[in-house]
Chains A and B, each alone.
Chain A
Amino acid sequence: MTDATLSPPRFRHLGLPSYVVLLVVLALVVSSVAATAPSADKLVRGITRLFAPSGLFTQMVPPDFSRIEPISWKLLETLQMAVAGCFLGLIFAVPFAILATDRLSPHPVVRSIARAVIALFRTVPDLVWAIIFIIIMGLGPAAGVMAIMVDKIGFAGRFFAEAMEETDPGPQDALRAIGASRLGVIVSSVFPACLPSFTATSLFALEKSVRGSAALGLVGAGGIGVDLKVAFDLFNYDEALAIILLMLALVIAVEQGSGWIRRKLI
């Protein structure tokens, strides 16, 4: 006998397929942790070693800022790589995004190609792009700038396209009905509507570029990462810590600055 005031069951009844999926996921998690995660005693030994008299931590602290001047110059180069790569990436992301947008693309085939290129640029990590560009153009910041640019075309291309896809089609159709050209429709009606979103995406891209550019030097694509790698290779752990702290300061400064601009604009 059922009571009308009976509350619904606490848990929804699951069918057999749901149990199977749940079991598979559980098995995946357990086996993955068992296969790759460090065991407890290994973790403990690692931590003891870290803080031992000759351990990494002990050698890192206090940080050695004696070479602050050359390091600062490399930090500036890192920022310049990020800004240059990000700027170029954002510029090229716009046409890619337009071609990838349903309503603005001249042809479905063009749209599919543009989307595939954006996806490829986004999916391959920037370190891999850096290695590729080092092979093409040699060691140094130029390869780093190219890697950041390609990564940003992938990142911003996707978000620019999404923003344009989401705009109200009414004003665009109205301008088309006036007889405006495709470029006229895009610049005079799509861009103004997307401006806040484009700005936010661009600032995120800059933050991402600064974070990324610090690591690019590890593979030889210019910037402060080179010095970090050298410091580690030469066991100058205290200098390595100084570099890490300065990188951190740069990233935080850029994030704060871009956050401030974003709040001003929205």
Chain B
Amino acid sequence: MNALILPSRALAGSTLVEPVLAVAGLTKVFSGREILQGLDFALSPGQSTALIGANGSGKSTLLRCLVRLVEPTSGRIAMLGQDVITLRPHELRRFRARVGIVWQRHNLVPRLSALSNVIHGVQARMSGPRAWFQSLAPADVRAEAMTCLARVGLADRASARVDSLSGGQQQRVAIARMLMQRPAFILADEPDASLDPQTGQEVMELLLGLVRQDGLSLLVISHRLEHTLAYSDRILGLANGRIALDLPTVQANAAALRRFFDHEGAA
């Protein structure tokens, strides 16, 4: 299972513990353009890592490659002790169940209640009508979903239709759905992007809380310099298809990071 030989450069970036994610020589070519040109890095468990980079630098592509929502062109990925690239379809489904994804858009099912949407997260390990709607869910699933909603501070809105909630509340319901998956690793693609500063900050705090209190690992893309500095242990910067920056957040200064943010100055 851990037959992957990790390049020493990847190991150097982490501590001595077994990495929760190790990427080696990852490339992705889109219609002749090499978006990712051989990435190597490894992440230690229980950390929050920020992924930064200008628009179009391939951050979302990298995130999607990690769970093969986009098939990598070449390279190796070891995540949660599994060789991701060689997983067969049913194994891939079981692997994805352990990886929670928070999207820029919440991607909830409109017209359904917050509770039903959170219960959908149980489809990671359960199938059939009991996982489709809150009205059909068994008592223990409903109770767990309510705990997840309480975790994001929305227990009192359980039966509200999600399209009647505010943007920040919707994003929190999406996080609750992700918690329902019982994930070991969280990938977040600009979870703060479509939210106002205050709400975006609350969502980032929530995600960091999952790292600090529950020991989950987090890889989060953010376009906000202040969030990157405040909510990560380590920063990876993507530029020209490569990891152009890799340092602990405590050593980072705003000036060095600026070139990875479009709106902060020159590219």
Contact = CB atoms under 8 A, between A and B. Distances in A.
A180 B127 CA distance: 7
A188 interface: yes
B105 interface: yes
Contacts of B4: none
A195 B161 CA distance: 14
A105 B83 CA distance: 29
B107 A184 contact: no
Contacts of B120: 175, 178, 180, 188-189
Interface string B90-131: 000111110001010101111110001000110110011101
Contact of A174 (B95, B97, B107, B132): B107
Contact of A181 (B103, B107, B123): B123
B132 A195 contact: no
Contact of B110 (A179, A181, A193): A193
B181 interface: yes
Contacts of A171: 107-110
B94 A179 contact: yes
Given A170-B105, A173-B107, A180 B123 contact: yes
B67 interface: yes
A192 B123 contact: no
A86 to B, nearest CB: 25
Given A192-B112, A193-B110, A179 B93 contact: yes
Interface in B110-159: 110-112, 116, 120-121, 123-124, 127-129, 131-133
Nearest to A190: B109
B171 to A, nearest CB: 12
Given A173-B69, A188-B131, A179 B124 contact: yes
Q: How large is the interface on A (under 10, 10 to 19, 20 to 34, 35 or more residues)?
A: 10 to 19
Given A179-B123, A192-B111, A184 B131 contact: yes
Nearest to A194: B111
A187 B120 CA distance: 11
Contacts of B96: 177-179
B127 A181 contact: yes
Contacts of B94: 179
Contacts of A179: 93-97, 123-124
A178 B132 contact: no
B131 A178 contact: no
Interface string B32-53: 0000000000000000000000
B121 A178 contact: yes
B107 A192 contact: no
A39 B34 CA distance: 72
A203 to B, nearest CB: 18
A192 B108 CA distance: 11
Contacts of B111: 192-193, 195
A184 B109 contact: no
B103 A170 contact: yes
Contacts of B127: 180-181, 183-184
Interface string A159-181: 00000000010110111011111
Nearest to B98: A179
Nearest to B102: A174
B101 A184 contact: no
Given A178-B120, A178-B181, A181-B127, A170 B107 contact: yes
Interface of B: 67, 69, 93-97, 101, 103, 105, 107-112, 116, 120-121, 123-124, 127-129, 131-133, 174, 177, 181
Interface of A: 168, 170-171, 173-175, 177-181, 183-184, 187-189, 192-193, 195
7 contacts: A173-B69, A177-B69, A184-B128, A187-B132, A188-B120, A188-B133, A192-B109
